Structure 1
Amino acid sequence: MNSLQMKKRIVLTGGPGGGKTTALDLFRREFSGQLASVPESATMIFSGGIERSDKPEVIAAQQKTIFNLQKNLEDTQRAMFPECLILCDRGTLDGLAYWPGSEQDFFETMNTSLEFELSRYDAVIFFETAAKSGQGIRSNNPIRNESEQKAVELDQRLQSVWSQHPNFNLVSSSESFIKKVMFGIMTIENVIGQIEP
């Protein structure tokens, strides 16, 4: 298998207010030329004029759109940067935490499976929400409007999904932000080391 056939893809995810957006910018600088990032598809959709809703049928339609956009963005970056590691701001399974129906319904709607979606990624770096340590979760992202309680609930749902990945890396909310970033850099370096000849 040559380098072009390898997945070379990492998900950076976690509950709202975990610091992943700021960390992603630092990772891009640290691995300039080695890494191509995939922006968060939900942010693209909701900041582009689509309104949030609390109606289950609308949430389902939005999550289906986010799921498909996420896959297409990952494929686009892979085609554009075939030799780079792809670092994804969230992944295809994040929508499961927001899905209004059952897990089975999610996978049937998306025409996929948990096992297949996990296999798309080499590693998962999970930044736990600061709300789990009783800290505030103010965000620079204007579409993020979750309360601390909601952030903890989403974090727990996301963690229960992504922790099933064989290369799941949890960065605790109690860690300092610098330690979070250093742990993320170390994880990315390990993945690069595993896939380079």
Structure 2
Amino acid sequence: MNITKIKKRIVLTGGPGGGKTTALDLIRREFCGKIASVPEAATMIFSGGISRAMTPEVLKAQQVAIFNLQKNLEDIQRAAHPDCLILCDRGSLDGLAYWPESEQDFFTKMNTSLELELARYDAVIFFETAARSGESIKSNNPVRNESEQAAIELDKKLKKVWSQHPNFNLVGSSESFIRKVMFGIMTVENVIGTYR
């Protein structure tokens, strides 16, 4: 299948503990050779020796770094895999949920706009955090340390941002993990199908 007309990406996002990273790996395996995945920029930074922020100024500096790394990783994968769909573990707008000041301040600091960032992606698959269904969000990711309540708050903020995308696909927290993955696979198939 030739999907060289695809210039954008699909972002898998949602609150902590929604199963995004595991689902992304399974989806990538399902579409072996047709998808190039982008790892989560924040995990790369925080697992590389940078401690999580304790002050607004440090938090802002970290979010600028994560934003730029995210976009650069996406661009690297696009250049390295021109015939593949790019599937991202989080997207450039995720930092809005962590930003300590206004949305306008975020866009001014990043020298962009909501419209420009939404336009980077063909679709958004939003995995609600398991905390919304009262489930544990403990994971194997050592840099994820949010409480269940913090995960719910981040989930709400992220949903408010990403639901503005015209191809927003919500996967509820009450769904079984297998159903979440199948929904993700169907969404990817639909996006790929628009380019056939």
> Which TM class, normalised by the smaller chain length?
over 0.9
For residue 141 of structure 1, give the secondary structure of its aligned residue in structure 2.
Answer: coil
Inter-partner Cα distance in structure 1 for 2:73 and 2:58: 22
Question: Which residue is equivalent to 1:60?
Answer: 60
Conserved? CA contact 2:5–2:195, under 8 Å = no
Correspondence for 1:96: 96
Residue pair 1:130, 1:137 contacting (<8 A) in 2 also: yes
Counterpart contact for 2:6–2:85, Cα < 8 Å: no
| 8 Å Cα contact 1:17-1:151 kept in structure 2 | yes
CA distance in 2, matches of 1:195, 1:68: 28
Task: Report how far residue 54 of structure 1 moved.
Answer: 2.1
2:123 maps to 123
Residues in 2 aligned to 1:26 and 1:153: alpha-carbon distance in whole angstroms: 27
Alpha-carbon displacement from aligned partner over 1:30-59 (angstroms, at most 9, x marks no partner): 000000000000000000011112200000
Q: Map 1:42-191 onto structure 2 (within 5 A).
A: 42-191=42-191
Q: Aligned residue pairs: how many?
A: 195
Output the CA distance in 2 between the equivalents of 1:52 and 1:195: 40
Contact map agreement 1:8 1:195 (CA 8 A) in 2: no
For 2:163, the aligned partner's letter is S
* Alpha-carbon distance, 1:4 to partner: 4.3
Where 2:126 maps in the other structure, the secondary structure is strand
Unpaired runs of at least 5, structure 2: none
State the 4+ residue runs in structure 1 displaced beyond 2 angstroms. Answer: 2-8
Structure 1 length-normalised TM: 0.97
Q: 1:122 aligns to what SS in structure 2?
A: strand
Distance 2:7 2:86 in 1: 9
**Structure 2: how far apart are the matches of 1:173 and 1:179?**
11
d(CA) in 1 for partners of 2:8, 2:103: 27
Q: Which runs of no fewer than 5 residues in structure 1 stay unpaired?
A: none
Percent identity among equivalent residues?
A: 77
**Aligned Cα RMSD in Å?**
1.1
Compute the displacement of 1:195 (Å). 1.6
